[in-house]
C-alpha cells in the first residue's frame, strides 16, 4: 500500500484534473463532490449534510454552535446529521490550492453496514456530538483513492462506486469515532430520536414549533429532549430552527427578487423587525445590505 503522502499526491492530481478552476463540482459518482479554492474564503453559512469530508491540500475551519472543528490533509471530518454550520477555507494559494472532496451518505447506509458487522453495538445513554474530526489512516485513504479514480473510468462507476463508498463508511465506523455514526443507527437510542426531531424541524422550520410537540415526537420529556438535542447538535431545538430559517431567508434574498419583509414571512417570522435583528446578528449585516454584498461577490466570482 502506498504511503499517505503518495496517496494524497495522487488524489491532488485527480481532483485538479476534474476541477481545473475554483468552485464546487458535482461528479458522475452520485453523492461525491469536489472542491477547489485558490484563496482563503470568507465564512460561509450552510447546512452540512451527513457526509465524509476529506481535504487533500489546504486547511478548513468548520464552526458548529461556537465549537470549532479544524482539519487538514492529516484528518477527515464527518457529520452524522444535518447541521447548520459556518465553514471557512483558511489555507489556500494559487500555487497550492485548497483541494477537497465530500461524500454524502444516508442513515440507511449505516444501518445496513451495522447489520453485516460482527461487532456488538452498544446503546449509549448519553449521545455524542454529531460531528467529529479524526486522523486519516492509509486503508481509509486507499478506499477514497479507488473511488475518485473511477472518475477516469466512468463506465465502472455503476458497479464499483457503491462498493468503495461502503468500504469508506465501514472504515469510519471502525475508527476511533465510529460510535458517533453507530448511535444514529441504533433503533430507539436517544441519538436516533434526535435525528427524527431534526428531520421534523427541517420539514416544518417555517411553522411555529412547541418543545412539548417535539418531546412527544421523541418520546422524551421536554427537559430530556432539550439536553440530548444540545449534546448532538450544540444548540437547542429553537436555535436550530432559527438557523434554518435565517439560512433559507438568505438564500431567498440572494436568488429571488423579493423584499426582506416578504422573506421574513415566508420563513416563519411574524415580525419583520425581529427578523432583521436576528439576521443581522447571525450574518453581520441587515438583510438588504447583506444580499447586495452577496450578489456582488458572486458576480465577481462568476466573472473571474
Q: What confidence score (pLDDT) does residue 61 get?
A: 98
Q: What confidence score (pLDDT) does residue 301 get?
A: 55
pLDDT one-digit tens code per residue, 91-149: 999 999 999 999 999 999 999 998 887 655 555 668 999 999 999 999 999 999 999 99
CATH architecture of the domain 241-303 equals: Orthogonal Bundle (1.10)
Question: pTM for the full model?
Answer: 0.92
pLDDT one-digit tens code per residue, 149-166: 999 999 999 999 999 999
Q: What confidence score (pLDDT) does residue 38 get?
A: 97
Range 190-238 classified under CATH 3.20.20.70:
no
φ/ψ bin of 284: left (φ > 0), alpha (ψ from -120 to 50), beta (otherwise)? left
Q: Which fold has domain 4-183?
A: Jelly Rolls (2.60.120)
Q: What confidence score (pLDDT) does residue 2 get?
A: 73
Round to whole Å and give the CA distance between 80 and 301. Answer: 31
* In the predicted structure, residue 297 carries a pLDDT above the cut 90: no
Where in the chain are the domains?
Answer: 4-183, 190-238, 241-303
* In the predicted structure, residue 303 carries a pLDDT above the cut 60: no
Q: CA separation (Å) from 14 to 7, 18, 153, 195?
A: 11, 6, 12, 35
Q: What confidence score (pLDDT) does residue 51 get?
A: 98
Mean pLDDT, range 210-223, rounded to an integer: 94
Which 3-state string (H, E, C) describes 223-268? HHHHHHHHHHHCCCHHHHHHHHHHHHHHHHHHHCCCCHHHHHHHCC
Q: Which residues contact 29 (CB under 8 A, 6 or more apart)?
A: 147, 150, 151, 157, 161
Identical topology for domains 190-238 and 241-303? yes
Round to whole Å and give the CA distance between 285 and 260. Answer: 13
Amino acid at each position: 500500500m502506498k504511503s499517505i503522502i503518495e496517496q494524497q499526491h495522487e488524489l491532488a492530481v485527480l481532483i485538479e484534473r476534474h476541477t481545473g478552476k475554483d468552485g464546487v463540482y458535482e461528479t458522475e459518482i452520485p453523492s461525491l463532490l469536489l472542491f477547489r479554492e485558490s484563496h482563503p474564503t470568507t465564512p460561509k453559512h450552510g447546512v452540512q449534510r451527513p457526509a465524509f469530508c476529506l481535504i487533500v491540500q489546504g486547511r478548513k475551519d468548520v464552526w458548529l454552535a461556537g465549537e470549532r472543528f479544524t482539519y487538514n490533509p492529516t484528518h477527515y471530518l464527518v457529520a452524522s446529521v444535518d447541521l447548520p454550520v459556518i465553514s471557512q477555507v483558511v489555507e489556500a494559494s494559487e500555487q497550492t490550492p485548497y483541494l477537497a472532496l465530500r461524500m454524502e451518505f444516508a442513515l440507511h447506509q449505516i444501518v445496513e453496514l451495522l447489520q453485516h458487522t460482527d461487532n456488538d453495538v452498544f446503546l449509549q445513554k448519553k449521545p455524542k456530538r454529531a460531528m467529529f474530526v479524526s486522523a486519516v489512516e492509509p486503508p481509509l485513504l486507499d478506499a477514497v483513492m479507488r473511488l475518485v479514480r473511477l472518475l477516469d473510468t466512468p463506465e465502472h462507476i455503476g458497479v464499483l462506486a457503491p462498493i468503495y463508498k461502503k468500504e469508506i463508511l465501514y472504515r469510519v465506523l471502525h475508527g476511533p469515532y465510529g460510535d458517533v455514526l453507530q448511535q444514529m443507527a441504533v433503533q430507539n437510542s436517544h441519538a436516533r430520536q434526535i435525528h427524527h426531531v431534526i428531520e421534523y424541524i427541517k420539514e416544518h422550520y417555517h411553522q411555529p414549533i412547541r418543545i412539548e410537540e417535539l418531546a412527544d415526537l421523541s418520546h422524551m420529556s421536554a427537559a430530556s429532549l432539550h439536553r440530548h438535542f444540545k449534546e448532538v447538535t450544540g444548540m437547542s431545538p429553537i436555535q436550530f430552527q432559527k438557523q434554518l430559517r435565517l439560512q433559507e431567508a438568505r438564500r431567498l434574498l440572494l436568488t429571488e427578487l423579493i423584499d426582506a419583509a416578504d422573506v421574513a414571512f415566508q420563513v416563519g417570522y411574524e415580525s419583520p423587525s425581529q427578523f432583521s435583528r436576528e439576521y443581522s446578528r447571525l450574518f453581520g449585516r441587515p438583510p438588504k445590505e447583506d444580499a447586495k454584498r452577496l450578489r456582488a461577490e458572486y458576480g465577481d466570482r462568476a466573472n473571474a
